[in-house]
């Protein structure tokens, strides 16, 4: 097994099952004796968590412009990468990320219809080519995912967007997955046991290939 740290990210729209997927990854890595830390975006540091509150709160006193939302996402990501993720990887730990840059590409690039060139520029400034080693994208029809999310309780500001927003998000996720071999698609509309089995199979295959 390789001793260098790896960065594994779980992506998907609301209700896709990211939390349970992360639990599967945790269990498998622990069984392999791999030390890891978990992160979430936006958030993961004290400053980044404050930005998360701003971005997700449905009770803001003013509307958040798409440009402001985008910049807050990358500001939060910059703090997390430089203060948590890279130090952990440099220590040989693995990092399990609940969202990363692909979320901005999907939500702000797809959902908000922002130009990819703008996101490329911000990513160049904040990430400087840094990217996950493996991304598991949980794909699900937004109608199903949002119903699951609504069943969990109150929806945050972004979760309250119209359904067309989430179809644009999904389309952007899929377009990136089609051209990046490090992004693996999991059919999250299946029975939960099958979804978990697929996640475990993909991760075991990844571990075997880098071992």
Q: Environment class of residue 117 by beta-carbon count within 10 Å: exposed (0-12), middle (13-18) or buried (19+)?
A: exposed
DSSP 65: P
The answer to whether 165 and 111 have CB atoms below 8 angstroms apart is yes
Taking only the tens place, the pLDDT of each residue in 55-88 is: 998 888 888 999 999 999 999 999 999 999 999 9
Report pLDDT for 59.
87
Handedness of CA 69, 55, 72, 88 (dihedral sign): negative
CB hemisphere CA count around 90 (13 angstroms) = 7
Helix (H, G, I), strand (E, B) or coil at 177: helix
Mean pLDDT along residues 104-117: 98
Report pLDDT for 19.
95
Helix (H, G, I), strand (E, B) or coil at 68: helix
The answer to whether 37 and 93 have CB atoms below 8 angstroms apart is yes
- At 195, give phi and psi (nearest 5°): -60, -50
Q: For residues 34 and 3, give the distance between their C-alpha atoms in angstroms, rounded to a whole number.
A: 9
Q: Sketch out the chain's domains with CATH numbers.
A: 7-210 (3.40.50.300)
| Terminal-to-terminal C-alpha distance of the chain | 4
Q: In the structure, what pLDDT confidence band is assigned to residue 27 with cuts at 50, 70 and 90?
A: very high
pTM for this structure? Answer: 0.95
Nearest to 8 by CA among 117, 109, 98: 98
């Amino acid at each position: 097994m390789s001793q260098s740290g790896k960065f594994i990210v779980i992506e998907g729209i609301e209700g896709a099952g990211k939390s349970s997927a992360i639990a599967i990854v945790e269990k498998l890595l622990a069984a392999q004796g791999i030390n890891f830390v978990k992160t979430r975006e936006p958030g993961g540091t004290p400053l980044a968590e404050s930005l998360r509150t701003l971005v997700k709160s449905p009770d803001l006193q003013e509307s958040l412009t798409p440009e402001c939302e985008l910049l807050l996402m990358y500001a939060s990501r910059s703090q997390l990468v430089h203060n948590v993720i890279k130090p952990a990887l440099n220590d040989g730990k693995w990092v399990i990320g609940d969202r990363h840059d692909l979320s901005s590409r999907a939500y702000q690039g797809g959902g908000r219809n922002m130009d990819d060139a703008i996101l490329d520029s911000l990513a160049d400034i904040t990430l400087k080519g840094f990217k996950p080693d493996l991304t598991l994208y949980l794909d699900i029809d937004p109608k199903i995912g949002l119903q699951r999310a609504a069943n969990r309780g109150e929806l945050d500001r972004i979760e309250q967007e119209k359904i067309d927003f989430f179809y644009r998000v999904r389309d952007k996720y899929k377009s990136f997955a089609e051209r990046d071999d490090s992004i693996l698609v999991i059919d999250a509309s299946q029975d939960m046991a099958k979804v978990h089995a697929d996640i475990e199979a993909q991760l075991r295959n990844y571990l075997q290939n880098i071992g």
